[in-house]
Amino acid sequence: MRKILLSAALVALCASPAFSHGGQFKGSGDAGAGGAGNSGVAAPPTNPGGAAAPGPGAPASGGAGLPGSGTGGRAVRGQSGRKATTGGAQQDFGPNYEAWEFWWENNKDRYLGLKERLVDNNSASGSLGALSGRGRKSGGASSRRPTEDQIMNEVLPALSNLLRTEDNRDIIDSSILALARSVPEAGQAEVLDLAMPLMKHAELSVQTSAAISLGVLESADAVDTLTGLMTDSQAGRKVIGGGEVPQLVRAFGALGLGLVNDARSVKALMDVIEKLPDSERDTKVCAIVALGLMDNEGVTEAHEFLVTKLQDRRLDAVIQSYIPTSLAKMRNSSMAIGVEPILESFTDRDTDNYVRQSCAIALGRLSNMSNMDVVDALIDFVAEGKDAQTRHFALISLGKIASRDTEPAAHAEAHEKVAKFLHNEITKPSRKTNAPWAGLAGALYARGEEFEGSEAEIETINRLKKAYKDESNPSYKAGFAVALGLLKSREMAPDIHRDFLDSNDNDFRGYAAIALGLIGHTDAANDLRGIVQNKNIPPTFRLQVATSLGLMSDEDAIQVLISSLETATTLGVSSAVAKALGLIGDQSAIGSLLEIAKDGRKNDITRAFAAVAVGIVAERSDLPFNAMISEDNNYRARIPAIDEILDIL
């Protein structure tokens, strides 16, 4: 879907030579979805603010380009009338890019767990489905999530008919992806048949939607097609109707192979990484990310290959920065490689900052409290390291490592060291910018299963209370509020509610609303519902408030949101409401959303976003399909294709 800048102020910020992909993280006011990826054309329908976009006060796009970054020219297909980028990573835009909000927007899906709230069962939180986002938990009779029968008998026929009868590209983009993310195995063949002709469509946005849909569908029957697209083979060119496969379609072909998770793809992905020149960053990076999504018999070979590439000094640093996180995400990665190669790269003085940042993230996934070398290295970098983003990622990783320990008594000394360090960084930070990050890290630590009611949890909450009450910076205060929300600090809910009502800062208010939802402070529901109904509030703020209502399981919010979608007149409002309905995920919304999508009297954007919402509501997995990519992603090393995939609603 075309990404439209909604705010004149945002356009003004982009007056400098711009990269085309932008957007704002949710909570930055009236954020528009940003620009496009390669060839000036965007991927499928996007968030009101992209997860990878600049933070408060930073331009949505801009700054001088790196070598190889285009700033103009018309696209062959689907031109959106905006400047294009032909490759290269995006530069950073100053200290605001280091704000904690970026990390939260990339990682929040797992902590919100909205769809899990719709199922009343005893599924173990440590199951593979819960950890990976793959597969739906078995819902009991009390589940309010859409059933397979509802998807097969209502969603599949309605959206299939739209694909056969509509010619608006936004509706086509939305419908094919919605089907790909929702249909069960029994409907895969039909969706595959619908997607293949779209690969020859004249609009690049439709081609990219179809390409990523082949991966989201998770059908092994799509492997050969995706491989052909990724490699720009004769077979791949035939799929698109002739000519070179566009770069964004190639990149999405690689990501699609990772989503399908077929062992046959491992060698093809490694060949692309090995043989393509570094100038083709998008496809190489997406191939690396795809290997990180793998959970099959090919991962051992893939591990060994990526470790070798991590040690290759000739490899472009931006491309290389995706290797540590991919190694950490691959199944059984810790058993296959341990942490040594990543720790070595993290502590090497000559390691590029992008790579070191990714190593800090990866160590948080791979290590444990018995490995004091890792714990000490992370603490030392927070204390003495020069790169602020690495320090912040290191704080989060310390919290994650400690939270997973199932035998804290056996590592009491290590826990004491980590807890004391995080607590000090919350209330007496060595650098002021560390404070909200330490607050979130402390919350992640204390919410671990072994620490409920523990001294560590009590002390963390006390530190966060003090930090919240003493803080005047609205961004930092919001970070402490979210941390208190993660720990379900009911005692602080009235304070956060009062500040939510009194503040004029919508950035703070949005995250305060999330905190109230996480705590389950239903006393705020009427206030929140009234804000959602207000037609004049910024879309991103609306999304956060609606998400809060979803966290409270407020069923009245569903009809309020549907009514808002029916009367929406802007892309931002439609996007925010569709995302909110999808996040809440209640089956009762399906019928109304399908009626909106089918209603030719309504504007095309509203119909398209109704289809988007259907796809998110009916998604097979507990988490959005792109959550596996956004989670523990080093968003500082920006690649247009990854930006595109993370901006898809």
User: Per-residue pLDDT tens for 592-634?
Assistant: 999 999 999 999 999 999 999 999 999 999 899 999 999 999 9
| Same structural domain, 572 and 536 | yes
| Same structural domain, 480 and 399 | yes
pLDDT tens profile 384-408: 999 999 999 999 999 999 999 999 9
Main-chain dihedrals φ then ψ at residue 552, nearest 5 degrees: -85, 0
Closest CA to 329 of 299, 286, 305, 309: 299
DSSP helix/strand/coil, 648: strand
* pLDDT score of 337: 61
| Same structural domain, 468 and 531 | no
Instruction: Using alpha carbons, list the distances in angstroms from residue 506 to 464, 542, 544, 565.
Output: 21, 10, 10, 21
Region of 275 on the Ramachandran plot (φ > 0 left; ψ -120 to 50 alpha; else beta) = alpha
**pTM of the prediction?**
0.85
| Same structural domain, 575 and 457 | no
| Same structural domain, 462 and 418 | yes
Judge whether 435 lies within some domain: yes
Contacts of 518 (CB under 8 A, 6+ apart): 111, 112, 482, 485, 486, 488, 551
Confidence at 115, pLDDT banded by 50, 70, 90: confident
| Same structural domain, 489 and 586 | no
| Same structural domain, 481 and 555 | no
Confidence at 332, pLDDT banded by 50, 70, 90: low
Judge whether 97 lies within some domain: no
Region of 94 on the Ramachandran plot (φ > 0 left; ψ -120 to 50 alpha; else beta) = left
Q: Which helix (H) or strand (E) holds 82?
A: none
Judge whether 603 lies within some domain: yes
Q: d(Cα 218, Cα 265) in Å, to the nearest integer?
A: 13
| Same structural domain, 485 and 374 | yes
Domain count, the chain: 3
Last residue of a domain, one of 24, 56, 88: 88
Q: d(Cα 483, Cα 426) in Å, to the nearest integer?
A: 11
Judge whether 361 lies within some domain: no
Judge whether 320 lies within some domain: no
Task: Burial-class residue 609 by CB neighbours within 10 Å (0-12, 13-18, 19+).
Answer: buried
Q: Within a 10 A sphere around the Cβ of 139, how many other Cβ atoms?
A: 17
Q: Residue 557 is part of which domain span?
A: 134-165+521-625
Mean pLDDT of the chain: 83
| Same structural domain, 485 and 526 | no
pLDDT tens profile 244-300: 999 999 999 999 999 999 999 999 999 999 999 999 999 999 999 999 999 999 999
Q: d(Cα 280, Cα 27) in Å, to the nearest integer?
A: 33
Instruction: With a cut of 90, say whether residue 83 has pLDDT above it.
Output: no
| Same structural domain, 464 and 545 | no
pLDDT tens profile 487-499: 999 999 999 999 9
- DSSP state letters, 374-432: HHHHHHHHHHH-S-HHHHHHHHHHHHHHHHT-S-GGGGHHHHHHHHHHHHHHHHS-SST
pLDDT tens profile 468-489: 999 999 999 999 999 999 999 9
CB 177 within 8 A of CB 208: no
| Same structural domain, 442 and 556 | no
**Of 20-29, 98-107, 444-453, minimum mean pLDDT range:** 20-29
Q: Within a 10 A sphere around the Cβ of 144, how many other Cβ atoms?
A: 17
- Over residues 93-104, mean pLDDT: 77
Q: d(Cα 254, Cα 242) in Å, to the nearest integer?
A: 19
Judge whether 458 lies within some domain: yes
Judge whether 606 lies within some domain: yes
Judge whether 197 lies within some domain: no
- Which residue is associated with the tokens 């700054």? 63
At 335, the amino acid letter reads: M
| Same structural domain, 482 and 532 | no
